[in-house]
Chain A
Amino acid sequence: MNEQMMKKNKKNSKKGFLFLGLVIVGFILTSILIPEKSPLILQTSFDYFKQMAMVFPAILILMGLFTVWISKEFVMTHLGESSGIKGIAVAFFLGAIPTGPIFVAFPIAQALRKKGASYTNLVIFLSAWACIKIPQELVEMQFLGVNFMLARLLITTVFITIMGVSINKLMNTEKEIEVKI
């Protein structure tokens, strides 16, 4: 069992490197074919890298501390299957705290999942992280107006919740079928 898991891990990391290789080849081809684009590509990637590098080590350590110190029971009561509306509120709050690009959120969501957070709350957490951050809302208000910002915030909140509940149902019914088989 353990060996199998290790093999799977190895296979996964190979895939990761393969993908990275493909992207690098893509970049090299682009720089040869459309050289005038490569400064913008590099600049954008570099900006992203900087943005990520500033918070990512801290987020990883936070995740490690979280894994070690926070009990499964704690996460399950606050974000688990039976956490209800309170769980949804916690997920929104956690997601809306400003913290950086969306891909930083995936390892956090993974850690939460391992501790027993429900899919509903994970979807809400990731979606809130993606599009309803508090400092971002101020920028949105500045550029798109207060009505646009409020309407989008309200509608998005409602539909993110509906999406969370639906995905949770889908994931869980499939699990039940698997168990039956």
Chain B
Amino acid sequence: MKTAISINGLVIVLLIISFIKDKKKTKKSLLIALKTLGKIAPSILSVILLIGLMYGLLSDKIAIFFGQENGVIGFFTIALFGSVIHMPSLLAFPLAGSFLAEGASVSSVAAFITTLTMIGIVTLPLEIKTMGKKFAIYRNLFSFGIALIIAVLMGVIL
């Protein structure tokens, strides 16, 4: 909430400064904002609904995966699961904390957090639209790789 207020405040101040300095440029910038919104609005709405769908359908199954954790397969399942589902990290941390408290391994919890936040199968269409197919695919694939490395290292260190 605080973040939202400060961002909006900042933008209003910048907008006023811009308007005082150059009305034409300010108008142009607002037009750019509007155009971008028009272009990505359908993708954003689908992403939001898709996140809801995934969360609603899969959230009660997360605990099952952590419960049946058996070595490498369990670890991969959790990483894949984290890639498919998308959750605000503010929700993900308490959830991950509860798994850790219930006895899940550090590695699997780390894999879950990293894939959950960095990889977005649901946000992929939007990422492709804004950043291009190649970049989006590379970034998500690499992120999956480093999520696994991070998880293993976390397990070794802690």
Residues of chain A touching chain B, judged by Cβ–Cβ distance below 8 Å, are 9, 12-13, 16-17, 19-20, 22-24, 26-27, 30, 34, 37-38, 40-46, 48-49, 51-52, 54-65, 67-69, 98-103, 106-107, 109-110, 113, 119, 122-123, 126-127, 130-131, 133, 135-136, 139-140, 142-144, 147-148, 151-152, 155-156, 159-160, 162-163, 166-167, 170-171, 174
Contacts and interface: CB of A to CB of B under 8 A. Distances in A.
Contact of B46 (A23, A30, A57, A64): A23
A69 B42 contact: no
23 contacts: A19-B43, A20-B45, A27-B52, A34-B57, A41-B52, A44-B55, A45-B49, A52-B48, A54-B1, A58-B10, A60-B37, A61-B11, A64-B32, A68-B25, A69-B29, A99-B7, A103-B126, A106-B131, A113-B131, A123-B142, A127-B118, A135-B3, A148-B154
B131 A122 contact: yes
Contact of B52 (A45, A55, A109, A140): A45
Given A61-B11, A62-B11, A123-B139, A48 B29 contact: no
Interface stretch (B64-72, B73-81, B92-100): B92-100
Contacts of B114: 131, 152, 156
Contacts of A30: 53, 56-57
B8 A55 contact: yes
A63 B15 CA distance: 11
Contacts of A163: 139, 142-143, 145-146
Chain B interface category by residue count: 35 or more
B20 to A, nearest CB: 13
A144 B109 contact: yes
Give the secondary structure class of B's interface.
helix
Contacts of A155: 150, 153-154, 157
B81 to A, nearest CB: 16
A99 B7 CA distance: 7
Contacts of A24: 49
A89 B78 CA distance: 31
Given A19-B46, A45-B51, A126-B139, A65 B18 contact: yes
Interface of B: 1, 3-4, 7-8, 10-11, 14-15, 18, 25-26, 28-34, 36-53, 55-57, 59, 88-90, 93-94, 96-97, 100, 106, 109-110, 113-114, 117-118, 120, 123, 125-127, 129-131, 134-135, 138-139, 142-143, 145-146, 149-150, 153-154, 157-158
Contacts of A131: 89, 113-114, 117-118
A102 B120 contact: yes
A92 to B, nearest CB: 14
A9 to B, nearest CB: 8
Contacts of B11: 58-59, 61-62, 65
Contacts of A55: 3-4, 7-8
B56 A40 contact: yes
Given A41-B56, A103-B126, A139-B93, A16 B143 contact: no
